[in-house]
Amino acid sequence: MTIYNFSAGPAVLPQEVLKKAQAESLNYAQSGMSVMELSHRSKEFDAIIKAAESLLRELMDIPDNYKVLFLQGGASTQFSMIPLNLAKGKKAYYHVAGSWGKKAYTEAVKLSQTIDFDPILLASSEAENFDHIPSFDSSAIDPEAAYVHITTNNTIEGTAIYDLPDTNGVPIVADTSSNILAVAYNVADFGLIYAGAQKNIGPAGVTIVIIREDLLNDEPVLSSMLDYRIQAGMFSLLGA
């Protein structure tokens, strides 16, 4: 029996991928064990994470001045990790066109009670049940702000942004969880792109962060696990 799963995630995986995983489940790459039993310090896993990065770079045409991180904690952890690393002492704008954008903003507001930064609601279509992408005046954006956060596809309402807005020169940070690899965005137009893998890429458990190198935090943040520079320096293997 075949089940056609149209839910937003976990997504369907290609049969050939599942068959390959099945065939290799007792002995991955002549290691004598399954991929699930490999050490993250092993040469086999090193090859896996490097190949995943290189394929993603190829598929998204990611420029060399961007780091690719494979992190834990879901896209939801990024709602706090982004302001923690990028926004210290600055303004951070939120464009809210759906439930996930609202969650990102709500988490930022929560964090701003303990970390010094200023989350600002740039525009919201909540009053109309998120039935459209709200517009805003880009000249109202402080050019010194840390970022403008957008959600390229609000999974629940389906409000999607294909053409990126003018943000007055401020880097765009985008939650692309439900349309990463389905829409060909130009990575160089973003400061940071993030996505939980389980909707468009693979099984749950990994979150992709693509960050322009000059946005990596100068100062250590609250926790090493939540620190982009430390994670980038350790090829995402901290705490793995």
Ligand X SMILES: Cc1ncc(COP(=O)(O)O)c(C=O)c1O
Pairwise CA distance, residues 18 & 15, whole Å: 5
5 Cα distance to chain centroid? 23
Give the C-alpha separation, 105 to 109, whole Å: 6
**Binding residue (CB under 6 A) for ligand X from 72, 76, 138, 217:** 76
If the CB atoms of residues 80 and 167 are measured against ligand X, the closer one turns out to be 80
Question: How far, in Å, are 85, 158, 204, 209 from residue 65 at the CA level?
Answer: 18, 31, 27, 14
Q: Is 177 in the site for ligand X (CB under 6 A)?
A: yes
Told to judge if 199 belongs to the known catalytic residues of this protein, a careful annotator would answer yes
Min dist. Cβ of residue 75 to ligand X (A): 4
75 near ligand X (CB under 6 A)? yes
Spatial contact of 11 and 3, defined as CB atoms under 8 Å apart: no
Q: Within 79-138, which residues bind ligand X (CB under 6 A)?
A: 100
Q: Residue 187 carries which DSSP code?
A: G
Q: Active site residue: 19, 46, 64, 100, which one?
A: 100
155 counts as binding ligand X under rule CB under 6 A: yes
Q: Both tokens of residue 187?
A: 């990575």
Nearer Cβ to ligand X (28/60)? 60
Active site residues: 100, 175, 199
Query: Applying CB under 6 A, which residues contact ligand X?
Result: 8-9, 74-76, 100, 151, 155, 175, 177-178, 196
